[in-house]
Amino acid sequence: MSDRILMAPSLLSADFTRLAEAVSLVEGAGADFLHVDVMDGHFVPNLTIGPPIIRALKRVATRPLDVHLMIDDADATVDWYLDAGADWVTVHVEACDHLHRVVQRIHAAGAKAGVALNPATPASILEEILPELDLVLVMSVNPGFGGQAYIPSAAPKVAAIAAMIAACGSRALIEVDGGIDETTAPLVTAAGARVLVAGNAVFGRPDPGAALNAIRDAGQAAVPRG
Ligand code: DX5
Ligand code: ZN
């Protein structure tokens, strides 16, 4: 596992009237991914971005689109997001009846596949699917909104998943999403997270590029030296 901390700023906290500017700002600051939060008003109590916006983002993005599907029945609609240009597609384990089939579909389209876990979902649910995954997304808030407070049980869950990944030889990276800032980033990178999503702590600051790199530096400093 690489020790480099990768940053995935969440466009959910950007100004939706100026998304192209937000993309170029965080890309210029060194963002590794663009995190795109898709919500359906059913799985989570909010409606946000859908395939047309993803298609538009794809036209201006130079970094991979990290698309987080907070939707029911991703089995039925995952192709919409793949066709729109998602590079990484993450589905919620709580919302998929046929998780293995969805992961196969994502891979067949040439994209990377991730699985997300809500705060109350145990790490052990990943046991069978982990060898197939490129990413595990540990939610450190209940999904639905930006700007919520980090839930401390995320770090021990990251550590448990890191141990499972090592045990089965999975290539999966661990990403953490929700309430990540300079203070909480070290808690999850010390436990094994390598991709950090941050929305409010980037776009809610006067200098989003500087904030992104401050979060990365804080997280990087806590990575255990191998
Ligand atoms: C929450 C989303 C997050 C959100 C994170 O449901 O999945 O990606 O944008 O926002 P912050 O960093 O503000 O908690
Ligand atoms: Zn997200």
Q: Give the model confidence (pLDDT) of 65-106 as tens digits.
A: 999 999 999 999 999 999 999 999 999 999 999 999 999 999
* Among protein residues, the one whose CA lies closest to atom 10 of ligand 1: 146
pLDDT confidence bin for 2, thresholds 50/70/90: confident
37 part of the active site: yes
Domain edges within the chain: 6-221
Hey, what long-range contacts does 216-219 have (CB within 8 A, 24 or more apart)?
A: 216/5, 216/7, 216/30, 216/185, 218/182, 218/183, 218/185, 218/186, 219/5, 219/185, 219/186, 219/188, 219/189, 219/193
3 part of the active site: no
CATH classification code of 6-221: 3.20.20.70
Using the mean position of ligand 2's atoms as its centre, give its distance from the Cα of residue 25 in Å: 19
Q: Of 37, 66, 72, 134, which residue is the catalytic one?
A: 37
Please tell me the predicted confidence (pLDDT) of residue 1. 66
pLDDT confidence bin for 167, thresholds 50/70/90: very high
- How far apart are alpha carbons 40 and 43 in whole angstroms? 6
Q: Which atom of ligand 1 is nearest to the CA of 68?
A: 7
CB-based contacts of 195: which residues, under 8 Å, 6+ apart?
5, 6, 7, 8, 32, 33, 66, 135, 173, 174, 175, 176
Please tell me the predicted confidence (pLDDT) of residue 223. 97
Q: Of 32, 66, 134, 177, which residue is the catalytic one?
A: 177
